[in-house]
Amino acid sequence: MNQIKAIIFDFDGLILDTERYEFEAWRSIYKAHGVQLNLSDWIPHVGAANEQFNVYAHLSERSGIPVTREEMRPRLLALMQEMLEDVPPLPGIEEYLSTAKRLDMRIGLASNSNLDWILPKLDHIGLTECFDTIVCRDDVSAPKPDPAVYLTSLQNLGVTAKQAFAVEDSPTGVQAAKNAGLFCVAVPRPMTKDLDYDHADMRLESLADMPLAKLLDAIPSP
């Protein structure tokens, strides 16, 4: 019998389609600085933390205009808030959360983003209270693909890696989950679907394609 007791979700691109809108917001900011942000520059770094791809430094270098996080982040957040105003959770997310609750599973969120990015968006779509723990970049010493956010999530949830599984949309996130010893389901977005997900244990086009109960049956027992 399957011993899975917890599910841990990524946030950006998995719960909410922030990545597409973040790219559009940054593209608008780059344009205002007289330069173009190419999708080919952006895609390889989806799911990475700022120290892995410092977009502020990249914009400064491309435009020749010094840009700081302190100056630009409020502008980015305002643009994102406007773009995401009426954007619902991605397909299958609400069903997975409600089914997990019904099955008495513990639910975690593990993200490379900061809490000031995650919480307002979770609050806006009414999902904050669904999570038993939220572990983000603020809480750990190293970002994904380091397993720290997942190891901390497991500790907070009171389960072992064999008693949980992760759901991710980026190769960086999948690697972090695997580094923590978790079974990992990849659910790429259209923006990232051509990246390498060979290290994932399972790949779905959407969580709506497979109900949680069926997915649990497909996870091998330890």
CATH number of the CATH domain containing 173: 3.40.50.1000
179 is a domain residue: yes
Whole domain around residue 24: which residue ranges?
Answer: 19-83
69 is a domain residue: yes
d(CA 70, CA 43): 24
pLDDT digits (tens, 9 = 90+) for 117-130: 899 899 999 999 99
- Does the pLDDT of residue 85 top 90, yes or no? no
Query: Is residue 110 located within the same domain as residue 188?
Result: yes
Query: Is residue 140 located within the same domain as residue 188?
Result: yes
Cβ atoms within 10 Å of 196's Cβ, excluding its own? 8
d(CA 158, CA 150): 12
Give the per-residue pLDDT at 77.
Answer: 83
- Does the pLDDT of residue 1 top 50, yes or no? no
CB 50 within 8 A of CB 59: no
CATH number, residue 48: 1.10.150
Percentage of the residues of the chain whose pLDDT score is greater than 90: 69
Query: Is residue 101 located within the same domain as residue 136?
Result: yes
Taking all residues of the chain, what is their mean pLDDT, rounded to a whole number? 91
1 is a domain residue: no
Give burial (CB, 10 Å; 0-12/13-18/19+) of 174: buried
Give the per-residue pLDDT at 144.
Answer: 93
Query: Is residue 53 located within the same domain as residue 101?
Result: no
Catalytic residues: 10, 12
Number of domains making up the chain? 2
Query: Is residue 141 located within the same domain as residue 57?
Result: no
- Does the pLDDT of residue 49 top 60, yes or no? no
Give the per-residue pLDDT at 60.
Answer: 94
| Boundary of a domain, candidates 38, 66, 83 | 83
Would you give the distance in Å from CA 212 to the centre of its chain?
A: 19
